[in-house]
Amino acid sequence: MKRKKTDSHALIYGLVDYGEGARVVILNRSEADDILSALKAISNSTTWREFRQTCPKKHVDCIHANLVNEGDHPPDDSQLFSSDQIPHLDYEWPQLASGLFGEGLPKTIVSEYGEPYDTVLDGLFIHFHPEDLIMIRNELTCLGYSLERDDEKATLAIGYGELNF
């Protein structure tokens, strides 16, 4: 019996090349959309007002908290915006997609098809081999998940690729 599809069951997947050949990443669609909205806001905003209006609130709140922790005050809405003003580390801003760690996916899929990729700073990522994609899609669909392929969104949501918004 199929489960009712929820936001947690709406996934995107894409082929991402980390320099060692393409691997499949599978991410929660709403989380990937949220990350892309934040990246678009940081790329396209010219004032802090514009940034605050276009960036998801949870990321703006995080930036404000980081600024206060560093002894600074959040800039006024009218001030010019620059991504250099945002305290963030490498590609971890606005967040690492939880799908990189296999979160949100059935444990059976991760254990049967997942390929661990150990990173120096961020822990163990889970990727999948492209040749397993048909089986993975079939199993996830049987479990009530919906999948959409979007290589660009998947690549950008995990911190790779060029931001061309």
Q: Using one digit for the tens of pLDDT, what is the confidence trace for 11-38?
A: 999 998 877 789 999 999 999 999 999 9
What is the rounded CA–CA span in Å between residue 46 and residue 133? 41
When comparing pLDDT for 92 and 73, which is higher?
73
Structure tokens at 58: 């949870």
Count how many domains the chain has.
1
What is the rounded CA–CA span in Å between residue 12 and residue 9? 10
Q: How confident is the model at residue 78 (pLDDT cuts 50, 70, 90)?
A: very high
In a domain, 109, yes or no: yes
What is the rounded CA–CA span in Å between residue 131 and residue 129? 5
Length of the chain: 165
- Look over the chain and give the mean of its residue pLDDT values, rounded to a whole number: 85
In a domain, 165, yes or no: no
Structure tokens at 126: 């889970």
Mean pLDDT value across residues 42-51? 93
Is residue 131 pLDDT above 80, yes or no?
Answer: yes
Q: What domain range is 40 assigned to?
A: 7-157
In a domain, 95, yes or no: yes
Q: How confident is the model at residue 108 (pLDDT cuts 50, 70, 90)?
A: very high
